[in-house]
Amino acid sequence: MATTTVSSRQLFSPTSYPRSRYGTFALAKNDRTQKRKTRISTPGKGFDSDIERRSSDRVVPLEESESKTRDSKLNLAVEENGKIGSNQITDESMYAPLQRGVVLKSCIGTSATLALAGFLVRQASHTAATSGWSVPDCMLLMPYTTELWHIIPTVGVVVLVSALRQIFIRIWPDFAASSEVSNCRVLGNLKPVDYFTVAYLSGISEELLFRGALLPALGPDWRGVLGAGIIFGVLHISGGRKSAFGIWASFVGITYGILGLYTNDLATPMAAHSAANLLGAALWKYTKDSKSEGSKTW
């Protein structure tokens, strides 16, 4: 009598018995098991394609979306500023704008500190000078003597500083990069009305200290103009702003000092500095909106 060898797989295979023995559910379950085994055993086909399908359907996390946004902003800034210079900023984190509340709080706190320091130095020097001490009287050497004719030189300085800033942004890559970092971080999340607050608080407080106190303390002449201007520029090399920005800040500081001595009025450099800040912020905002949205409305 012939003997037929039957393997255990054939013996327990559902196809060896009628469908009624196992039912539709068992066959469907077995089919799914076989498909899963096939996909795992052949990763070059089913496994990879399944992963690709699932990865393409996944929801992009918020952090990844924000990272892509920062990348696009960085690329836009680099394209606008031209070829990257030796000292140009390339770290995308430097372009991330600070929160509006952080900027305003920092501006108010810093401006209050500078203004208080300038006021105390001026008051102390005046008290010491009137008491017979051989010290320069900052209040007397750089007073407030606002007159109508002061408007013309003040407006001239604002136009000069604003025009040169735009020229240097186009021809000086390192300065353009530093300016872009500063503008993106400070102005990126501000509302247009906030520009007035930041521009005038910083302009008035800085001039009160550097041109109202430091300049006359060093001497109401070229020594005070150069000394206060250079110190002003050095202190602006921070927060991603490199030496190019410090050179520019020294130049404008010297310009404001000359204006103050020419008019013998501390109010003129205060007004010129604040107006130049506001105009620079407005031009940056206008340029950004025009390039990103194709419109010239602000």
88-112 pLDDT tens trace: 444 556 678 999 999 999 999 999 9
The pLDDT assigned to 75 comes to 47
Is 163 inside any structural domain?
Answer: yes
The pLDDT assigned to 290 comes to 85
CA 30, CA 38: separation in Å to the nearest integer?
A: 12
pLDDT one-digit tens code per residue, 135-192: 999 999 999 999 999 999 999 999 999 999 999 999 999 999 999 999 999 999 999 9
Which of these, 283, 286, 258, lies nearest to 272 by C-alpha position? 258
Is 110 inside any structural domain?
Answer: yes
CA 31, CA 15: separation in Å to the nearest integer?
A: 11
The pLDDT assigned to 32 comes to 53
Residues 169 and 27 in one domain: no
DSSP 189: T
Distances (CA, A) of 110 to 18, 30, 97, 203: 87, 73, 18, 12
The structure's pTM equals 0.69
Residues 168 and 268 in one domain: yes
Is 241 inside any structural domain?
Answer: yes
Residues 12 and 136 in one domain: no
The pLDDT assigned to 209 comes to 98
Domain extent for 25: 8-37
Is 60 inside any structural domain?
Answer: no
Residues 269 and 188 in one domain: yes
Is 77 inside any structural domain?
Answer: no
Residues 205 and 278 in one domain: yes
The pLDDT assigned to 31 comes to 53
- Ranges of the chain with pLDDT below 70: 1-94, 293-298
CA 245, CA 232: separation in Å to the nearest integer?
A: 11
Q: How many domains does the chain have?
A: 2
Is 62 inside any structural domain?
Answer: no
